[in-house]
């Protein structure tokens, strides 16, 4: 059985940054997340593509031992076109073609239904909820989202969050969703909805892990040369859930490690264009940077 199972988008990305440009690149939250998870475990994806989806991308996912039984095929693949300006902090969307994603209704393969570890990457919260309701006995549901869904489907989003164990969101989304500029207060509110933990991603400033009794502050990695931050948040969630799946341990202590592995894979991803760096790195590169994270926060 593939684990973790991951629902999210599969996209063809058109990205431009001050350092390069790419067209029809493999992208989407489920792809970044499952590639990141594949360093630790053998994930399975649920998503939709179109008839125009290049076979090489499918072959690549398979080569990473990512199970694609949960991918269905519609007419045209979801396309995202965006760019980053000099400060590289925020993606500016130029164009979004939802295409087959618009009418997507997830079908969870039989072979996924006993999965214990689940990552709901960024996608319509109603589809995330459908996955939760279809599974037999999920033990850990980790959930990501984005501001888009807070804007247009807040009620359904909160409904889904209530069924998740761990909520991941970035600082701006946390402030927006819970109506406070104070991240500690936002986390307290979120902890009333989810049963286990809340993770607030802060980009270059690291990430915060809140559980009922404890707080963990993960450092950001000092990137001198960011090439393309696309997919960093998805990598974080995928690697986080992949590491927990591999270790089968969701103690607070082990979640701290998982947050660092998430940060490690995200930072490595940002140093390459599109998924190019994810294609190059291996678990040794990840362990090396994990140790660098230890060193840079030691006092």
Least separation in angstroms between CB 71 and its own copies: 35
Q: Judged by CB, which is closer to its own copies: 59, or 179?
A: 179
Least separation in angstroms between CB 99 and its own copies: 34
Q: Does 157 bind its own copies (CB under 8 A)?
A: no
* C-alpha span between 32 and 13 (Å, rounded): 12
Q: Does 179 bind its own copies (CB under 8 A)?
A: no
DSSP 191: T
Strand 215-218 with 207-210, pairing: antiparallel
Number of residues in contact with its own copies under rule CB under 8 A: 37
Q: Which of 7, 13, 40 is nearest to 27 (CA)?
A: 13
Q: Judged by CB, which is closer to its own copies: 205, or 279?
A: 205
DSSP assignment of 29-68, as one string?
HHHHHHHHHTTTSB-EEEEEEETT--HHHHHHHHHTT-EE
Q: Dihedral (C-alpha) 249, 288, 270, 255: value to the nearest 10 degrees? A: 20
Which of 74, 109, 172, 219 is in the footprint of its own copies by CB under 8 A?
219
Q: Judged by CB, which is closer to its own copies: 218, or 244?
A: 218
Which of 55, 56, 59, 86 is in the footprint of its own copies by CB under 8 A?
86
Q: Does 272 bind its own copies (CB under 8 A)?
A: no
Burial class (CB in 10 A: 0-12, 13-18, 19+), 223: middle
Interface residues with its own copies (CB under 8 A)? 86-89, 181-185, 188, 202, 204-206, 208, 214-220, 222-224, 226, 253, 256-257, 259-260, 294-299
């Amino acid at each position: 059985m593939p684990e973790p199972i991951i629902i999210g988008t599969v996209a063809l990305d058109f990205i431009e940054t001050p350092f390069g440009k790419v067209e029809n690149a493999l992208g989407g939250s489920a792809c970044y997340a499952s590639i990141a998870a594949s360093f630790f475990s053998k994930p399975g994806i649920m998503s939709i593509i179109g008839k125009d989806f290049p076979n090489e991308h499918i072959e690549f996912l398979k080569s990473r031992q990512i199970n694609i039984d949960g991918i269905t095929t519609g007419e045209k693949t979801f396309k995202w076109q965006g760019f980053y300006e000099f400060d590289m902090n925020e993606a500016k969307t130029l164009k979004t073609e939802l295409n087959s994603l618009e009418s997507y209704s997830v079908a969870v393969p039989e072979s996924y239904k006993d999965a214990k570890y689940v990552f709901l990457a960024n996608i319509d919260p109603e589809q995330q909820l459908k996955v939760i309701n279809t599974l037999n006995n999920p033990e850990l549901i980790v959930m990501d989202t984005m501001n888009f869904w807070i804007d247009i489907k807040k009620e359904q989003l909160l409904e889904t969050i209530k069924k998740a164990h761990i909520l991941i969101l970035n600082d701006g989304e946390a402030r927006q969703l819970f109506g406070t500029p104070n991240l500690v207060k936002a986390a307290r509110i979120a902890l009333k909805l989810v049963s286990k933990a809340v993770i607030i991603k802060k980009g270059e400033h690291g990430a915060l892990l809140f559980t009922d009794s404890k707080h963990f502050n993960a450092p950001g990695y000092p990137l001198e040369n960011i090439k393309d931050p696309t997919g960093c948040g998805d990598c974080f969630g995928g690697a986080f859930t992949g590491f927990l799946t591999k270790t089968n341990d969701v103690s607070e202590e082990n979640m701290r490690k998982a947050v660092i592995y998430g940060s490690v894979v995200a930072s490595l991803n940002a140093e390459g264009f599109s998924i190019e760096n994810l294609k190059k790195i291996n678990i040794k590169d990840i362990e090396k940077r994990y140790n660098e994270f230890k060193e840079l926060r030691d006092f």
